[in-house]
Amino acid sequence: CSSDLANFSEKALKKVVYSIKDCKFIPEETIFDESSSDDPAIYFIMKGEVEIFTNKLRENSLGFPNNQEINLKRLKAGDFFGE
């Protein structure tokens, strides 16, 4: 999602401005895991890129479960994601 702040109402921005925290992440670090959505948050990307992906459980050729990583989207500075 593009982070054009014009998409947010002034009222919505005023509600969240005091909750904003500056977080830094290292390459390959998991920022958000869809299976543990206990802490809803929105992440604004200020610098760098973020890959959004999901894991899909599939059976391999021997019939054993195998996680397959599926890349959904690549976000860059100016974009945002979260719940």
Q: Give the model's pLDDT for residue 35.
A: 72
Q: Which of 23, 73, 70 is nearest to 43 (CA)?
A: 23
Count the alpha carbons within 13 Å of 77 in the hemisphere toward its beta carbon: 3
CA distance 36 to 32: 8
pTM, whole model, 2 decimals?
0.65
pLDDT class for 6, splitting at 50, 70, 90? low
pLDDT digits (tens, 9 = 90+) for 11-54: 887 877 777 888 999 999 988 877 776 767 888 899 999 999 88
